Amino acid sequence: MSDSEETQLEARLAEQEAFEPPAEFVEQANVSDPSIYEEFEDDWPDCWERAADLVDWETDYDEVLVDDDEPFYEWFVDGELNASHNCLDRHLDSRGDELAIQWEGEPGDTREFSYAELHREVNEFAAALRDLGVEEDDVVTLYMPMIPELPMAMLACARIGAPHSVVFAGFSADALATRMNAADSQFLVTCDGYYRRGDALDHLSKADDGLAGVDHDTTTVVVDRLGDDHDHALGDDHFDYDDLVADHAGADVDPVTRDAEDMLFLMYTSGTTGEPKGVKHTTGGYLSYVSWTSHAVLDVKPEDTYWCAADIGWITGHSYIVYGPLALGTTTVMYEGTPDHPDNDRLWELVDGYDVTQLYTAPTAIRAFMKWGEEYPDRHDLSSLRLLGTVGEPINPKAWKWYYRHIGDESCPVVDTWWQTETGGMMITTLPGIGTMKPGSAGPPLPGVDARVVDADGEEVAPGEAGYLTVDRPWPGMLRTLYKNDERFIEEYWDAYSDSGNDEWIYFPEDGAKIDDDGYITVLGRVDDVINVSGHRLGTMEIESAVVDVEGVAEAAAVGGDHEMKGEAVYTYVILEDGYEEDEETRERVIEGVEEAIGPIARPEEVIFTPELPKTRSGKIMRRLLEDIANDDELGNTSTLRNPDVVDDIEAKVTGD
Ligand code: WTA
């Protein structure tokens, strides 16, 4: 293509507001009949049997939905199944020799597992876990990076009915300890380390530091990822993964029969208070829901080589690297490292090399690719791609179009999927074989999902107006409660409109949104005290308590400020005690404190020292004003402040005026 043709094309794309699904895609799509929306509506809640039909049940369920104790909904009641059987055993006859996992390490080493091989190792590790004393319903914590043993351990836990609680490997030792204590988890599976941008990182020391903060006895299994690149010693109560698996070579472990409503896993996520929330997902509803959305939205077929480039430490990886794709018997790709190592074309090299058919990633990554330039994807043949997806934060139309054009070559639909840890799976997105795509807008709610945009009184807003997102009906993949905390579950998600006399059970995701005339929803971002850094959810209270723990800090506030690449970045405002200097050393100590308490992802972009924080007359910190200052926006109303002068002082510090 000539330069001028290229320029014309870019100009046309820049103006275009709506894109139709490519005909070639529609022809082969798993779901392409628009009547599905009406069918689900007419047949609700029984429409969800379509999701359950994608799963193998040992015992059929009696009822699709039981709602006599709202909001503690139950799905596929009295059904029995096992998730590990669904992801492994049932594929053995038809796809035993086909690849289940295609893994690549950052240094370029590869490992492949057919369904038969994955089944074998999961059985062996399940037997080993049992031998170590893991019983049904014991919570097993998995603190591991992107290595094959992570999904293996998840499936081994599922096989013996032990819920897993995966803690993102980038989280700190303290974060690990908090989560193990909260779940009363006595078992940990971790590893010696992993590769990051060419370095062999020690992970075990961090795990051991975390274990030191756990207030009960623990048993730990350690995977050897780094071999000779990193020697590690096994402490008391530590077992080597390879030895355990070798000791149980050939073992068969019957998948434990689980009730549909039995817990499959726990996933801790950030909320408004400092305490992470233990989101509980169940076996029947969750597995059905992620299978259905993988089928309908990601268009997964068994013969695909599907790649979700997220980390299994977050919900996206649970639902769309492990459970959804493996339940459907496809090949799921895993990559250990970063997209810029050894060069900025690493992802495209993988897509090209493995003939990846679907790519599901985050807007923060797409913004980085765009900044690096199209020369990197242009080096490779990406024609194997059939569908592109994004998740985790709003995607701006410019990045959407860049992805569509330079990665998808205008021949792949792009699904912008809105959902949360709590929803288990996707909720708002176009169906790729049906819906017109509008860059920047996720799309309509999925068939059967009732999402709306309302004002503070719960009334639906007019098209184009900003409001709050709500979900007005339950869905199979929904969280069932917060672990051992039903009260907080209700307070956090179901209580928003009780003051305005609304007695219906409406789920409140804590996101702002607007809706257009076609019912397309654009998600604007969080309305609670959660910061979304590169698609990672962080609680302001968690960050603030980390900063206040730093010696010499009297008080602190953390807010999210706009950031070109990360979407949002952490800004911390800090008041020091008398006798401490507002200098570089103190700033470093604040940053280190946050990294130690949470992890490098929460590292503050700016530490701003201030003599006071803007507070309302009732003493509440006005975070919104601090956000305006961080963003250099016009300041909102300051008249309700007890100390309006402080705002000028802080602004002067941030802008250096
Ligand atoms: C945000 C990640 C806009 C949103 C699966 C939500 C999005 C939070 C989108 C959940 C999207 C996720 N467009 N915003 N397509 N997807 N979000 O629990 O604010 O880590 O509430 O789950 O991410 O983050 P979580």
> For residue range 426-456, what is the model confidence (pLDDT) as tens digits?
999 999 999 999 999 999 999 999 999 999 9
pLDDT higher than 70, residue 656? no
pLDDT tens digit sequence for 381-402? 999 999 999 999 999 999 999 9
pLDDT > 70? residue 61: yes
Residue pLDDT, tens place only, 228-287: 999 999 988 999 999 999 999 999 999 999 999 999 999 999 877 778 899 999 999 999
What separation in Å is there between the alpha carbon of 443 and the centre of ligand 1?
14
Summarize the confidence of residues 581-585 as an average pLDDT: 96
CB distance 316 to ligand 1 below 6 Å: yes
Would you state the pLDDT for residue 499? 63
Listed by start position, the domains of the chain span 3-435, 466-524, 528-655
Cα dist from 566 to 314, 393, 605, whole Å: 17, 10, 11
619 vs 409: which has the higher pLDDT: 409
Q: Ligand 1, atom 5: nearest CA belongs to which residue?
A: 420
pLDDT value at position 607?
A: 96
Q: Averaged over 590-594, what is the pLDDT?
A: 97
pLDDT in tens, 27-52: 999 999 999 999 999 999 999 999 99
Q: Which of 354, 365, 444 is nearest to 402 (CA)?
A: 365
For the Cβ of 523 lying below 6 angstroms from any atom of ligand 1, the answer is yes
Q: Tell me, which fold does domain 466-524 have in CATH?
A: Luciferase; domain 3 (2.30.38)
Residue whose CB lies within 8 A of the most ligand 1 atoms, among 269, 289, 419, for a mutation test: 419
Cβ 88 vs Cβ 163: under 8 Å: no
| Beta strand 99-104 pairing with 331-335 | parallel
* CATH topology classification for 528-655: GMP Synthetase; Chain A, domain 3 (3.30.300)
Number of other residues whose CB lies within 10 A of the CB of residue 312: 24
Output the residue whose Cα is nearest ligand 1's atom 14: 393
Please work out whether the CB of residue 269 comes within 6 Å of at least one atom of ligand 1: yes
What's residue 502's pLDDT? 63
Q: Which atom of ligand 1 is nearest to the CA of 524?
A: 3
Q: Can you give the pLDDT at residue 637?
A: 76
Q: Which atom of ligand 1 is nearest to the CA of 525?
A: 19
> In this predicted model, what pLDDT tens digit does every residue of 136-186 receive, in sequence order?
999 999 999 999 999 999 999 999 999 999 999 999 999 999 999 999 999
**Residue 645 has what pLDDT?**
83
Answer whether CATH 3.40.640.10 is correct for domain 3-435. no
Angle at 421 between CA 417 and CA 427, to 5 degrees: 35
Measured in Å, residue 121 CA sits from the centre of ligand 1 at 34
Q: Cis peptide leading into 71, omega within 30 of 0?
A: yes
**If you average pLDDT over every residue of the chain, what do you get?**
95
Does the predicted model carry a pTM greater than 0.85?
A: yes
Instruction: Please give the C-alpha separations between residue 212 and each of 189, 583, 629, in angstroms, as whole numbers.
Output: 15, 32, 40
Residue whose Cα lies nearest atom 7 of ligand 1: it is 393
Q: Which residues 6+ apart lie within 8 Å of 501 measured at CB?
A: none
The pair of three-digit structure tokens given for residue 228, joined into one six-digit string: 């000779």
d(CA 1, CA 580): 62
Q: Which two tokens stand for residue 245?
A: 């698996």
Q: Over pLDDT 70: what percentage of the chain?
A: 99
DSSP assignment of 115-146 equals HHHHHHHHHHHHHHHHHTT--TT--EEE---S
How far is the centre of ligand 1, averaged over its atoms, from the C-alpha of 421 (Å)? Answer: 8
Model pLDDT for residues 98-144, shown as the tens digit of each residue: 999 999 999 999 999 999 999 999 999 999 999 999 999 999 999 99
Which region among 206-210, 220-224, 526-530 has the lowest average model confidence (pLDDT)?
526-530
- Residue predicted with more confidence, 358 or 497: 358
CA distance 83 to 151: 12
Q: Which residues pair with 333 in a beta bridge?
A: 102, 307
Q: Is any atom of ligand 1 closer than 6 Å to the C-beta of 534?
A: no
Judge if the beta carbon of residue 393 lies within 6 A of ligand 1: yes
- What's residue 533's pLDDT? 94
pLDDT, position 480: 98
SS3 464: coil
Q: What totals of helices (H) and strands (E) does the chain contain, helices first?
A: 23, 30
Structure tokens at 467: 């409001």
List, for residues 604-650, the tens digit of each pLDDT value. 999 999 999 988 887 788 888 899 888 888 877 777 788 888 888 88
